[in-house]
Structure 1
């Protein structure tokens, strides 16, 4: 029996109270993704080195490399525990429940403006190239073209947003989905960070939440299951704990804690953390522009 350490409150409730039935969708060293038979949504078992996230439970295991799990293995619940065939049993007793609660957008945005400068400087120095951040030293023509496409499409997308041209913004956002390297492509990661900023309570971009839903509708056929699920969660304001912490400190935090939180996000994936952070920066800047345009009270 393996102990569940912490987890998304809705996933825990589904296991404990509602019954959960699914099968293994994908297996990695640090995570196992489970597809729910009822909804088709993905849920994640994460190793103890990872942070909390939506539809995720962190369990007391270092790695799944030697777990002998296989794709399509059945996953079910019984007696307050989650089972994968007869291979793993995970106890929900004493689990710490986690809920994604985004911070409120501040009335005074002076600290936010200062922090955005810090974040951009840190990304410029420490962010990973190859996705939304261009690698100026590469001579690979495919990579050069991919990075240019990402930047040009992101620029057109953001221009449409600040001009309140939602139809054009959706068209440009759709052209970002599935674009770029990685299990979760760079364009998807950028949109994940950006869409989360439209769910900050009291923010100037609250009216774009319907835009988020339309992006997800477009995304299902344009990217892989794992990236689609990440976008779907972000479109509803649900992101990983490390991203929530970064958003909180970006809005009101001091430099030392802000840099530490940013470093944690930059560690995500290969370039995913950098792409997400750049999406957060862009989303917060759109919020600032919308406020200046009078879309906030």
Structure 2
């Protein structure tokens, strides 16, 4: 059994491995990630070193390049500061750097005019990006199916935003069921849009507590209507956390002054998945606009 080194990990995951008897089983295996499900039903992830930090995630060197045979239902457990994967691999975490999602403060009203300018700039850049699906579909080679899904996503999410703007939260809860799970893929576009929206409503000092509470009240409904991996991202967004590059993007959008840095960080978010990054960006920008319009 070979031992690998963890470069970094979310603080809570490192604490579990180093201080508790943590155990689970492999839930799913991908090219650069392995998802583990523990007894509570929560998803944890082992990720390749080139990926960014994220909640419940451990970044590991060489594991994926060596391509060990990692199989679904293989037991995974903590032992003396290591995360042990069956009889296949052990991951040492003693020198791993703790990662925390940054605090994102929502701008004050006197800063809204500047934020509007930056959001307009982002929308202009996004309109020029070649995208093959989801909310940002602008490829001339689009299929009829992609166009149909794109149209449905826009229609249903615009109705959701309209209900939220009018504070018709009961209607918004019902409309949520038309967005969650909408679109193909492991994390449907509708779910990714809701992740982006949630990350705005859960920023520190967010001015409309009722929208944050609406999210919390919607959690169980979301869990019933999508798969566990997609729900995991939604659940963390409801807690106000996401991948490292998303936090970096939001802080740059709200408080940065460098246009090139903003574009670079936008492109880093766009690079998440096939359409997930664009869908989350759409949700974040929609949440910001909604807030400033209220």
Q: Does TM, normalized by the shorter one, top 0.5?
A: yes
- Counterpart CA distance in 1 for 2:217 and 2:66 is 37
Q: Would the aligned equivalents of 2:131 and 2:139 in 1 still touch at CA under 8 Å? A: no
Matched positions, count: 289
Q: Secondary structure at the match of 2:134?
A: coil
Matched, 1:260 2:264: yes
Aligned partner of 1:84 in structure 2 is 85
Matched, 1:121 2:120: no
Picking from 247, 252, 258, the partner of 2:250 is 247
Comparing 252-261 with 137-146, greater Cα deviation is found at 137-146
- Counterpart CA distance in 2 for 1:270 and 1:239 is 17
Following superposition of structure 1 onto structure 2, how do residues 1-297 of structure 1 map, counting pairs within 5 Å? 1-37=3-39, 39-61=40-62, 63=64, 66-107=67-108, 108-126=111-129, 128-135=131-138, 137-138=140-141, 140-254=143-257, 255-290=259-294
- Counterpart CA distance in 2 for 1:219 and 1:166 is 15
Q: Secondary structure at the match of 1:279?
A: helix
Deviations 1:66-86 (A, max 9, x none): 211110000001111100011
Offset, 1:144:
2.0
Q: Would the aligned equivalents of 1:104 and 1:201 in 2 still touch at CA under 8 Å? A: yes
Q: Would the aligned equivalents of 1:52 and 1:241 in 2 still touch at CA under 8 Å? A: yes
Q: Scaled by the length of structure 1, what TM-score is found?
A: 0.93
Q: Where in structure 1 are there 5+ consecutive unaligned residues?
A: 291-297
Q: Would the aligned equivalents of 1:8 and 1:56 in 2 still touch at CA under 8 Å? A: yes
- Counterpart CA distance in 1 for 2:226 and 2:286 is 22
- Counterpart CA distance in 2 for 1:75 and 1:243 is 29
- Counterpart CA distance in 2 for 1:123 and 1:286 is 19
Offset, 1:111:
2.5
Q: Where in structure 2 are there 5+ consecutive unaligned residues?
A: none
Q: Would the aligned equivalents of 2:130 and 2:139 in 1 still touch at CA under 8 Å? A: no
- Counterpart CA distance in 1 for 2:238 and 2:12 is 17
Deviations 1:8-60 (A, max 9, x none): 111111111122110000000100000012x1100000001100101111111
Q: Would the aligned equivalents of 2:130 and 2:138 in 1 still touch at CA under 8 Å? A: no
- Counterpart CA distance in 1 for 2:76 and 2:63 is 20
- Counterpart CA distance in 2 for 1:206 and 1:99 is 24
Q: Would the aligned equivalents of 1:195 and 1:237 in 2 still touch at CA under 8 Å? A: yes
Q: Would the aligned equivalents of 1:127 and 1:266 in 2 still touch at CA under 8 Å? A: no
Deviations 1:110-133 (A, max 9, x none): 331121011111111125241112
Q: Scaled by the length of structure 2, what TM-score is found?
A: 0.94
Q: Secondary structure at the match of 1:178?
A: coil
Q: Would the aligned equivalents of 2:269 and 2:278 in 1 still touch at CA under 8 Å? A: yes
Q: Would the aligned equivalents of 1:28 and 1:65 in 2 still touch at CA under 8 Å? A: no
Offset, 1:136:
6.1
The root-mean-square deviation of aligned C-alpha atoms, in Å, is 1.5
